[in-house]
Amino acid sequence: MIHGEQPTAVVILNWNGKTFLEQFLPALIKNTPAATIIVADNNSSDESVSFLSKNYPNIEVIQNKSNGGFAKGYNDALALLKGRFSNYVLINSDIEVTPGWLEPLVQKVNQKNVAGAQPKVRAYHRRSHFEHAGASGGFIDKNYYPFCRGRIFDAVEPDNGQYDNEKEIFWTTGACMIIRADIYHELGGLDADFFAHMEEIDLCWRAKKSGYSFYVVPDSLVYHVGGGTLTYENPRKTFLNFRNSLFMIHKNHEGWLFGKIIYRMILDGIAGLKYLASFNGKHFNAILKAHFAYYRQLKTLNKKRKAIKESTTTFNKTGLYKASLLWAYFFKGVKSFKGLNKRFFAD
C-alpha cells in the first residue's frame, strides 16, 4: 500500500535526488506493503517533484519551502504528519531495502521503553561490507567519537555474520531508522541548528536521557550508497561533522563541560594538523571555521543544555564505551568492534 492510514510512515527526505528515486523507489514500494510511503522534498531544483507526480501519483509529497537541511527538513515534514502515525521511518533516498526489512523494526519499536531501531546497513557499492554510516548499530566513546559494530573511524569490516545478533546501542543511523512518533515530537525532533550530520546521534542521546533505548535489528537489511548529498571528501562535510560534534557535546555532556570541550578541541587541532601535513588545507580551514561557528552559538547552546538538564530523568548509558577509541585504534591497533575491551562498555 502506498497511500493510506497505516501505523507507520516511511518518510524519504529528498533533495535533488531524482536519480535515486528512480533507482530505489520501486523496491521500496514493492517491499513495504504495510506502511505509508511519503516523500518530503526539500525544495529540490531538479525534477524530483514532477517525476513523482507523473510516475507515482498515489504517493503523498510534502514540499518544504526551503532546503533547511536534514534536520529542519524532517522537522517541517513530520510536524504536518503529527497525530496520523505511531511510527516514523526516516530513510535516505539512496537506500535499497530488501524483502521483509520493515516488519522486524516495527516489532522492536513496539516494545516497552524502546524509542527507535535501525536495520543492518551494508554498502551498496561494496555489498559484502558494512556501510560507514550505521553498519550494525551505533556507539560512542568517552570523548564522544561515534563508531559502529562493523566500522571504527575509517576501518570498515566485511559482514561475515559476526554482528547478526540484535543488540541495544547508543544511536541509530539517520540513513534508515524507525522512531516512535510520540517520542520524536516529545523531544522536539531533530536539532535544526545542526543542518546535517550528527543530528540523529544528538536525538538519540536526548532520548536516552529520558530512559529510552535504541536497538539494531540485523534481521532487517538495507544497502546504502552514502555520500549522495555531500561526498566524504567535501570540506563542507568536515565542517559540519566537527561543528556538530561540539554542538552535541555542549548540549549533552554530563560533568565539567569546559574541560571536555577544550580536550576535544585539542584533538580537533591534531586532526587539522594531519590535514595540513597531507596538503589538505581546505579541510584544515573547515575545522577552524567549525570552531568559530561553535563559539557564535554558545548562548543558544547554553539554553539547550539547561533545558536538557532540567528534563533529564534516567540516563540510559548502554552503548557508551567508557574508554578512548583513539587510544584503542591508533596506539593499540584495534580495527574491529570485536577487538574493543568489552569491560569498558556501559550496561
* Phi/psi-derived region of residue 82, left when phi > 0, alpha when psi is between -120 and 50, beta in every other case: beta
SS3 121: strand
Asked whether residue 115 carries a pLDDT value surpassing 60, the answer given is yes
Q: Tell me how far apart the alpha carbons of residues 261 and 256 are, in angstroms, rounded to a whole number.
A: 9
| Cell numbers representing residue 220 in the block | 532487517
pLDDT digits (tens, 9 = 90+) for 291-324: 999 999 999 999 999 999 999 999 999 999 999 9
**Cβ atoms of residues 159 and 122 within 8 Å:** yes
**Cβ atoms of residues 61 and 39 within 8 Å:** yes
The residue extents of the domains of the chain are 8-224, 235-309
- Average pLDDT of 142-159? 97
Q: Tell me how far apart the alpha carbons of residues 211 and 278 are, in angstroms, rounded to a whole number.
A: 43
pLDDT digits (tens, 9 = 90+) for 238-265: 999 999 999 999 999 999 999 999 999 9
* Average pLDDT across the chain, whole number: 95
- Average pLDDT of 158-176? 98
CATH no. for 8-224? 3.90.550.10
What is the reported pTM?
Answer: 0.95
pLDDT digits (tens, 9 = 90+) for 44-81: 999 999 999 999 999 999 999 999 999 999 999 999 99
| Cell numbers representing residue 233 in the block | 571528501
Asked whether residue 1 carries a pLDDT value surpassing 90, the answer given is no
Asked whether residue 228 carries a pLDDT value surpassing 60, the answer given is no
